[in-house]
Each structure stands twice: as C-alpha cells, then as structure tokens.
Amino acid sequence: MLTIGMLSRETGTKVPTIRYYEQIGLMPEPSRTEGGQRRYGEADLDRLSFVRHARQLGFPLDAIRELLDLSDNPERECDEVDVIAQRQLRQVEQRIARLEALRGELRRMLRQCTGGKRSDCRVLEVLRDHSECLSDHKDGWPDR
C-alpha cells in the first residue's frame, strides 16, 4: 500500500492534484487507515499514471473521464477510444496551426523593426493596433 506522498513521487503528480482528481471522480476514493490516512494500491497507481499521461498529451478532463470509463469496461468497442483520440489530435493540430501563425506574425514584426527609438518601434506599433497584423490569431487565445 502507498501513502499519498509515495503515490505522488511514483507518478510525478502533486498531492493537491491527486486530491482534486479524487474530488472530481477521476480517482476512486482511497481506502484509509484507522488514523484517516489515505492508502493506495497498484490499481490506483496504474490509474493515476494513465490520467497523468493523458494530461501530458493534452486530453481535457472530460475526455479522460470517457477514456477511463471505456478502460473500465473492456467489452466496449475500441472505436469509441479512437474517436476520442482523433478528436484530441484535431485539437492539437488546430493549436499547432495557430502557433505557427503566431510565430509567423512575430517573425514579421521583428523583421520590420529597424531599431532606433522606442517611438518608432514597429513591434510596439503592431501590438497597439491589431489591424496591422497579417494573421488572424484572435480566436482561441483567452486572456489570462
């Protein structure tokens, strides 16, 4: 049996994240000692490793929940898993396309910069006036 700290170290997942996954149902409620300490088994380690790897691949929590459900029901069709993975691949490809557009825009801004005084800075000018941009990168980039 593993403590939450041991599970954290084994998977590289922070303790608060493990607790959060338990709260939202991605991880089952662990068994507890008489003193109330969480205890985890190999199945928990495997499940958390699955969740962590899926997160590293960019899967959203809802998709991971679906994948876990499919994994927990081996009689279900693999096609359902493929659909989720294909959806994730499309999202990754869309992000890559947006990032490539941003890279191009940043390169263009820097090429147009001639140095000199800040009042003549092309980079600052483009950042102030979005109409100066050649690419449409407004969609999909939330303010944070």
What tokens were used for 104? 């191009």
Please identify which residue in the block is written with the tokens 């709260």. Answer: 23
pLDDT, tens only, 53-98: 999 999 999 999 999 999 999 888 899 999 999 999 999 999 999 9
pLDDT, tens only, 14-34: 999 999 999 999 999 999 999
Cβ atoms of 44 and 50 closer than 8 Å: no
State the DSSP H helix or E strand holding residue 131, giving kind and residue range, or none if neither: none
Distance CA 25, CA 22 (A): 5
Q: Given this model, what pLDDT does residue 144 score?
A: 42
pTM here is 0.75
Cβ atoms of 88 and 63 closer than 8 Å: yes
